[in-house]
Amino acid sequence: MTLDDLSRFVLWLKLPSGSLKVLPAHPVPQARSNRTINHALTVVRSFYDYHWRMEAAVTNVKDATTTFLPARTRRYKSVLHHITKGLPVEKNILKQKEAKRQRPKTITKDQVKLLLDACLNQRDRLLIRLLSESAIRVGEALSLWVQDVDVAENTLHICERGPLENGAEIKTIHSARAVAVSADLIDEIVAYVGIAHTAEVQTNHLFIKGQGARTGQALTYADVDALFRRLRSRTGIAVTPHVLRHTMLTALAEQGWAPELLQERAGHASFQQTYQTYVHPSPGALRAAWEQSQEQVCLPEGEKHGKHSHETC
């Protein structure tokens, strides 16, 4: 494994054609984001570093892809800056520049209502409402079994069960959790199960196919993707299951939910991921906070100009 090999790997990750034999004549959108490419590079470098340390590889890939910059290029001061300030800065020469992470895309309540109204059957409407209200991932929704719905406690239990018949899975071991939902959503789930889960249905999955040769089998990712494409065609709203998830979690953050509560509802392994993604006050929230504090922090007009008058900044 050489530096040239890794450089070609990075190029392959970027090309939408998936082939180094077909190079675009004009600029085209990357097949993967720079963030995703950097994750892949980290994994590959770690894999070869392990084999080099086990003396199963002749090339130290980490050294081959690392350069050192002058200490003055360091962008921040760590806790041990007084010790490390003179040391050169280590840099991965293949690392791609990542765009600043933006606030997650969301839609309005009215748009959610339009999506619900555009659903042509009970199952699709329930799926959209469940994804929107619970903020669970689409894989977690497809992994739900009927017995995961706690009617008494108005709760959905996200469980890890390993490989499932429809290929669905929860994201990580940290994703297993209990998610509180409204009594109205639970009633809608009960009504759907009473109609869709007949004696002929063999699967435990909550969401099942309602027609065709595979009626009664568990719903798949492809089925959900097709549903969202139909909804986009009917409503003109470009939305994905993840946008519904972001919409609810962002709304809860703006309602004042503590980051640790958001982390638990989202099923994030990292508190930092939750905080950086959702704890961003809106312009309206910033304005309201300022107006609430303005009187306490601004100087009175009289003190500012030597006269007794109204308060001002």
Residue with tokens 């065709």: 212
Q: Which of 123, 245, 246, 265 is catalytic?
A: 245
Active-site residue 305, yes or no? Answer: no
Whether 100 is catalytic? no
Of the residues 171, 214, 287, 304, only one is catalytic, namely 171
For the question of residue 308 being annotated catalytic, the response is no
**CB proximity list for 51: less than 8 A, separation 6 or greater:** 57
| Token digits of residue 48 | 């070869």
How does DSSP classify residue 218? B
Q: Which of 192, 205, 265, 278 is catalytic?
A: 278
Q: Which residues contact 114 (CB under 8 A, 6 or more apart)?
A: 235, 237
Catalytic one of 234, 242, 275, 280: 242
Rounded to 10°, the helix 259-266/241-254 angle is 160
221 is catalytic: no
Annotated active-site residue in 45, 137, 205, 265: 137
| Known active-site residue 74 | no
Residue 223, by phi and psi: left (phi above 0), alpha (psi -120 to 50) or beta?
A: alpha
Annotation says 137 is catalytic: yes
CA dihedral 257, 258, 264, 269 (to 10 degrees): 130
Catalogue the active-site residues: 137, 171, 242, 245, 268, 278
